[in-house]
Structure formats: structure tokens, C-alpha cells
């Protein structure tokens, strides 16, 4: 059983990454063929697509009677995105931030964090809380689309506009794009079920909670699309996309990935989650804000700052390991 569960996790992670990439490619090409702005595609479809693994894993975990795994996945993925994904990315290539779009998204992310905290600080993730977060997701995506339309399909001076334009497939017909979209979605669904099954079995075998598995193994695995996208974007010099992927994903994680378990299987939120995991997520987000916002000019995350983020994340994993021995 343990061998099968381990293989299911490995295969699930691999298929999640591949399925998310096919899903994003198909959805982006379809939207582009319909005349949607590259900036809007990048902010909505790409952000939604890279968070699709977390969404499906959390939904399936909650439906299977393991809502703590979904909650751990949502918060753990946000911690992983900043500490591991941006830490590793900045070590490989220091990140310069020029985009006005990103400077609008930083405050929005902080507001979403505080809004979510206000809902769960009572120690309960109710169905109403989950619905409120999903409504917040709808409002967020509406705001992103409205912003892009207001600026006449993007600001030509915003580097994210041209960076996203370069990323969107331009040689796919609508029929082919739709095929890849549905193939990607099917693979995402199947691999999510496989991953949840394996992760729950491993958690029971190790004698640890679903929450810890969600915060660590599952969070790292479902953050692989963000890691791959951010590293490749940084190597190509598309620094704004590298950071934008993380900001967008963290917004979606709080509103959708955390909201879905609440709607499907309302559950309690322990003080452990609030004072350890959520508190660290807030700290890492504030550090990212200070590093990248650029209060006195262009923002930048250098290698030393990337190393600090990665060190904090490594210390967090070490603390979780030692505290559950």
C-alpha cells in the first residue's frame, strides 16, 4: 500500500504539472483567438490555471472527508509560493519589478489576506465563509478584467503586457486550443484524485495529520506549476510575470482553494493554523511587499533576499518536522 501510495503521489504531481500547462495553453490560446487582451489573459486565465491543481486537490480532499488537507494545501501553497518559489527564483536570477499592474496587486493581496483572516479568526470555516470567499474570487476576476478593459487592452508601457503577449500561443486554432483545454482539465481531475488518495494514505502511515501533509508534501507538489513558470520567466528576463504568477496564485489560493473546503465540508480552524501557519504567511507576504514594491524606485528581489525567503521556508519545514516527532 505504501509503495502504491508513493507512486500515486509522484505520478499525481507529474500529471498535475503537465495538465495545468495544457489547460493554461488551451485556455490562453482560445481567449487570444477570441480577441482577449494578453494582459487580461495573463491576470485571469494564467493565474487561475496555475492555481487549478490546488483548487481541485482541495475540493476532492474536502469531498473525500479530509477538509484539513485542503485547508493546509491553501495556506501551505501560499507559504511555499513566497518562501520556496520566489526564493529559488531570485537565487537563480534576481528579480526586478517595474510593472504598475503588480504595484496595484500587492495592496489587493494584503486586503484579501486580512479579509480572509477576519472570516476564520473565530476558529470556524463555515459554508457561509466559503461562499463569501468564492464571491470574493468572482469580484477579483471582475476587477482584473475591468482594469484591463479600462486601459484599452492594457497599458503599452507596462512590461507585463508584452511579456504575457510573448507567452500566449499564437499558432493554435480554436478547435485545437479547446481540445487541449479539456484534455488538461481531465488530467487535472484524475491526477488530483490520485494525489489525494496517496497523500491521505501516507499521512495515516506516518501517523501525522492531514493538515501537516497538506501544508508540506501536497503544498509543494501543487506549487510546482508556479515554480516552473516563475523560474522560466526569470531566466527569459520576464521578471514581472515571475512575481505576478505568485501574487495571482496566492489570491486565488485564499479565495478559491480555501473557500472550496468551506463550501463542501465546513470545518474548524485550529489555533495552530492561525498562529503558526497563517501568521507565517502574513510575515512572508509583508517581506515580499517590502522587497519588491519599490518605495524609492523600481522594486527588486536580489539573491540575498531570495536566500532569506528560502531560509525562512526551510526553517518552517524543520519546525513542522521536529514538532511532530
The CA distance from 324 to 133, in Å, is 31
Q: Which of 306, 259, 287 is nearest to 115 (CA)?
A: 259
87 vs 300: which has the higher pLDDT: 87
pLDDT tens digit sequence for 125-161: 999 999 999 999 999 888 877 776 665 454 555 555 5
Boundaries of domain holding 220: 2-323
Grid cell in block for residue 34: 477570441
Q: Rg for the chain (alpha carbons), in Å?
A: 19
210-224: per-residue pLDDT in tens? 889 889 888 888 887
Q: How far apart are CA 174 and CA 39, in angstroms?
A: 19
Q: Which residues pair with 268 in a beta bridge?
A: 124
pLDDT at 121: 94
How buried is 183 (Cβ within 10 angstroms: 0-12 exposed, 13-18 middle, 19+ buried)?
middle
* CB neighbour list of residue 183: distance below 8 Å, 6 or more residues apart: 19, 22, 26
Model confidence at 296, pLDDT cuts 50, 70, 90, reads low
Beta bridge partners of 301: 95
Could you give the percent of the chain with pLDDT greater than 90? 30
CA distance 265 to 61: 9
Task: Give per-residue pLDDT as tens, 243-278.
Answer: 877 888 899 899 999 999 899 999 889 899 999 999
Residues 214-239: what's their mean pLDDT?
Answer: 80
How many domains does the structure of the chain reveal? 1
pTM: 0.84
Q: Which CATH number fits the domain that encloses residue 84?
A: 1.20.1420.30
Q: What is the pLDDT of residues 184-212, one digit of tens each?
A: 888 888 888 888 888 888 887 878 888 89
Amino acid at each position: 500500500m505504501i509503495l502504491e501510495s508513493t507512486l500515486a503521489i509522484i505520478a499525481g504531481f507529474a500529471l498535475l504539472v503537465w495538465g495545468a500547462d495544457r489547460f493554461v495553453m488551451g485556455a490562453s490560446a482560445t481567449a487570444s483567438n477570441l480577441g482577449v487582451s494578453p494582459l487580461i489573459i495573463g491576470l485571469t486565465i494564467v493565474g487561475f490555471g496555475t492555481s487549478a491543481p490546488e483548487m481541485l486537490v482541495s475540493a476532492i480532499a474536502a469531498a473525500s472527508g479530509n477538509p484539513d488537507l485542503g485547508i493546509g494545501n491553501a495556506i501551505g501553497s501560499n507559504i511555499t509560493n513566497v518562501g520556496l518559489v520566489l526564493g529559488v527564483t531570485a537565487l537563480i536570477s534576481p528579480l526586478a519589478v517595474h510593472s504598475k499592474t503588480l504595484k496595484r496587486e500587492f495592496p489587493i493581496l494584503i486586503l484579501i489576506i486580512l479579509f480572509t483572516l477576519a472570516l476564520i479568526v473565530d476558529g470556524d470555516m463555515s459554508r457561509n465563509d466559503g461562499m463569501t470567499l468564492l464571491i470574493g474570487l468572482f469580484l477579483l476576476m471582475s476587477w482584473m478584467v475591468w482594469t484591463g478593459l479600462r486601459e484599452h487592452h492594457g497599458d503599452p508601457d507596462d512590461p507585463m503586457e508584452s511579456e504575457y503577449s510573448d507567452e500566449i500561443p499564437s499558432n493554435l486554432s480554436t478547435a485545437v486550443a479547446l481540445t487541449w483545454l479539456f484534455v488538461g482539465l481531465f488530467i487535472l481531475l484524475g491526477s488530483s484524485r490520485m494525489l489525494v488518495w496517496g497523500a491521505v494514505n501516507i499521512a495515516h502511515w506516518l501517523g501525522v495529520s492531514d493538515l501537516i501533509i497538506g501544508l508540506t508534501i501536497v503544498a509543494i507538489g501543487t506549487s510546482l506549476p508556479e515554480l516552473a513558470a516563475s523560474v522560466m520567466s526569470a531566466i527569459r528576463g520576464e521578471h514581472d510575470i515571475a512575481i505576478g504568477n505568485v501574487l495571482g496564485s496566492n489570491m486565488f489560493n485564499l479565495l478559491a482553494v480555501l473557500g472550496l473546503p468551506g463550501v463542501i465540508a465546513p470545518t474548524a480552524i485550529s489555533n495552530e493554523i492561525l498562529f503558526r501557519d497563517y501568521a507565517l504567511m502574513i510575515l512572508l507576504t509583508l517581506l515580499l511587499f517590502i522587497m519588491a514594491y519599490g518605495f524609492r524606485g523600481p522594486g527588486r528581489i536580489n539573491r540575498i533576499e531570495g536566500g532569506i525567503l528560502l531560509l525562512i521556508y526551510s526553517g518552517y519545514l524543520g519546525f513542522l518536522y521536529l514538532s511532530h516527532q
